[in-house]
Amino acid sequence: MREMMQHRPGRIFLSALVLSVVAYIVVAFLGWNEVEVLLFGWINAPLLIGAGFVAFWLICYLIYFFFFWPYR
């Protein structure tokens, strides 16, 4: 963690993760997790929001790992 904070891409990566956690908390408090809507007949709102959260973290990690990883 200390090494990530010493270069700009690492700080951007960590700030994107923190912002996504804050956005997830906001979504939870606004009640969007409790919306009773089915997408494609089987995807409910909490599953869609959680999958989007995990996909965002995965994309951020892959970009950081493949393009900005300091230990090559």
Question: What tens digit of pLDDT does each residue of 3-16 get?
Answer: 778 889 889 999 99
In a domain, residue 69? The reply is: yes
In a domain, residue 29? The reply is: yes
Q: Which amino acid is at 12?
A: I
Residue 34 · residue 45 · CB < 8 Å? yes
Sign of CA dihedral 68, 9, 65, 49: negative
- The predicted structure's pLDDT at residue 48: 86
Segments forming the whole domain that contains residue 48: 24-72
In a domain, residue 45? The reply is: yes
In a domain, residue 58? The reply is: yes
Take residue 65 and report the two structure tokens written for it: 């790992």
In a domain, residue 14? The reply is: no
Q: Is 37 left (phi over 0), alpha (psi -120 to 50) or beta?
A: beta
Percent of the chain with pLDDT over 90: 36
- The predicted structure's pLDDT at residue 5: 81
Among candidates 12, 22, 19, 24, which has minimal Cα distance to 52? Answer: 24
- How many independent structural domains does the chain possess? 1
